[in-house]
Chain A
Amino acid sequence: MTRTLTLFASVAALALAPTSLLAQTNDLGEPLAEGGEVETTGTQASGEDAEGGLAFTVTDESDWSDIGVAIPAFATDRNRPTPASAEGTEALGREIARVITSNLRNNGLFKPVGPDSLPQPGFPQITSPAWVNWSGRGVEMLVHGYVRARDDEKLVVGCYLYDVALKDELIREGWVVRPADWRRAAHKCSDLIYARLTGEDPFFDSRIAYIAETGPKDNRVKRLAVMDSDGANHRFITLGSATALTPRYSPDYSKILYLSYVDGNPRIYIYDIGSGRQQLVTENANPTIGPRWSPDGRHVLYSMAVAGNTDIYRVPVTGGQSERLTTAPGIDIAGSYSPDGSKIVFESDRSGAQQCYVMDADGTNQKRISFFGGRCATPEWSPRGDQIAFTRIAGDFNVAVMTPSGGNMRVLTRGWQDEAPTWAPNGRIIQFFRTARNSGRSSLWQVDLTGRNERRLPTPVDASDPAWGPIRP
């Protein structure tokens, strides 16, 4: 944790922009007060080693949604005031259980029952559930937890998962968070439950960068904004005087790549969250578009149009020489790295229409992979490496997935215009934006890999260009 903080500070110091760049930052708001740390701690109560096999086998996502999970209010050792809740730790414990419940429900995972229709366990019962209260409710799983306010105002949150039929603990974990980060503890607990029951990697404790849209269709105001994976903790980063588009969180959440018209031309900037400053991804008079991070956060892929011809380039995030990766006449754009950084999927219209191609990270071995009718645009490599999500254009625009060799193409959504998929950190859920016909109103949506669970993500205003960041450090 200390190491992370030091790194963060040094990045902020390095990013002090020369005065000449200040004129380009006049669409930026105040820097976000972020950087809270979550420390994993041992849970309070001692107990047997939580290792042990699952009581059942999960074979398909559809089975997960049949599992009933009871999530009563988290208990507190004594109700103390906390900056996280005006009513104290007891009310906060109920709120944490509500956040976990809506996480699981909104994502179509399990059948969660929340604290508002369940008895409230006392503090001693957190490590020793009153089984008679839970056996007859038709739930297979029981979540217990507690909140304790320390004297330094930090909160200790414990999370326990029990198998009701076995009357046994499956897993437990605890976290120490600043009061302002209490929701992160709820997301960590959601992740613990999800990962234990599905065997998949977690994804709730993550953030999303996107473009907030207001105003009429012919005069849209587009602002860079960020929020938690469930839409909470929403913040605007730009003020809206210049159009902002296509953000991407850096793998360590310290920076955001995005396109801005702040100097009148479409150009990619590297925005530093800690310092609230930004700089051009490359000093060049040509327009730059389509920014993406390398998996290690050291390089940026972008496309640059020179005399109307657009190619993909790579540049170190610290600046320096750009390396041109494509040379074909036409538009080569939207490069996205494989998670191991060895390959890049991108779109090109060199064949006459947008199709998806894969190349080695140095630009060699360019091969078209999409051969299924329609067009292939905005490819994004899954963090698991096994799938590529893309916008399929065949009449309407839909989100689809395929293997990295272009096989097993599956269309997951059926909107009029569903565009720009971005992966959840665990590669199980895809977020995208949907544009309404005629009105042009846009909104963020999620769909799982079965295509069966689709839902709208609430945002304060219209929203587009989502970019899902990794699990938070």
Chain B
Amino acid sequence: MNISLSRCAAAALVTSSLALAACSREAPEELPPAPAETASTETRPDPTPSGPTVGTQQHFADAVGSSTTVYFDTDRYNIDSEDAAALQAQAQYFARYPQVSFTIEGHADERGTREYNLALGERRANAAKNYLVSLGVSPDRIRTVSYGKERPVALASTPEAWARNRRAASVIIN
């Protein structure tokens, strides 16, 4: 079951949104709305149910809250207990929506040299990936990319801002 589903997701990755839709139908997340009382010739399921849909970052963020991102100490890449809790929340989400693939973006703060930070971001993204894989998420569903210090979210030059930038953020692949 797991294997076939992850294959499906992988196939969706490399083919098209058509394939992704096909995969989605195998494991419907929400039931289609009940048929209307007065049946018209144009009865079709509402393509946009209210709220974010599966496969969007918003849906993921609504489900796991701030756990989309884990944070690291300076120059470190180990998964501490707080990170582990966040990644467990992510793993539950990815188990529930096996059609979803995602990228883990590894980042570093500005207080590192550029090339080292690229390698460090890669190491952090892989640490998060390895932890998710240990929780049963298929590695085929996880892409990693490092942005080093090139994409900060906190813009000040303070220890607090640097702490927010040392992160591995999971981002849903649409």
Contacts and interface: CB of A to CB of B under 8 A. Distances in A.
B40 interface: no
B114 A353 contact: no
A359 B122 CA distance: 25
B173 to A, nearest CB: 11
Contact of B123 (A310, A334, A353): A310
B113 A354 contact: yes
Contacts of A308: 77, 122-123, 125-127, 130
Contact of A246 (B115, B125, B153): B115
Interface string A434-469: 010110100000000000000000000000110000
What is the size category of the interface that chain B forms with chain A?
Answer: 20 to 34
Given A305-B146, A307-B126, A349-B75, A331 B119 contact: yes
Contact of B116 (A264, A331, A435): A331
B152 A218 contact: yes
Given A353-B75, A437-B157, A265 B123 contact: no
A257 interface: no
Given A377-B116, A435-B110, A310 B122 contact: yes
Interface string A373-401: 00001100000000000010100010000
A289 interface: yes
B114 A419 contact: yes
B123 A305 contact: yes
Given A217-B152, A349-B75, A246 B114 contact: yes
A333 interface: yes
Given A218-B152, A218-B153, A218-B155, A378 B115 contact: yes
A347 B145 contact: no
Given A266-B146, A308-B125, A218 B113 contact: no
B156 A265 contact: no
Interface in B88-128: 110-111, 113-116, 118-120, 122-123, 125-127
B151 interface: yes
B150 interface: yes
Given A308-B126, A349-B75, A287 B116 contact: no
A305 B115 contact: no
Contact of A378 (B113, B123, B152): B113
B118 A289 contact: yes
A156 interface: no
A310 B114 contact: no
A277 B157 CA distance: 38
Given A245-B114, A308-B125, A334-B116, A266 B145 contact: yes
A108 interface: no
Interface of B: 75, 77, 110-111, 113-116, 118-120, 122-123, 125-127, 130, 145-146, 148, 150-153, 155-157
Interface of A: 216-218, 220, 222, 243, 245-246, 259, 264-266, 287, 289-290, 303, 305, 307-310, 331, 333-334, 347, 349, 353-354, 377-378, 391, 393, 397, 417, 419-420, 435, 437-438, 440, 464-465
28 contacts: A216-B155, A217-B155, A218-B151, A243-B150, A245-B114, A245-B118, A264-B145, A266-B146, A287-B146, A290-B118, A303-B115, A305-B123, A308-B77, A308-B125, A308-B127, A331-B120, A333-B116, A353-B75, A377-B113, A378-B115, A391-B113, A397-B111, A397-B113, A419-B113, A420-B113, A438-B157, A440-B152, A464-B114
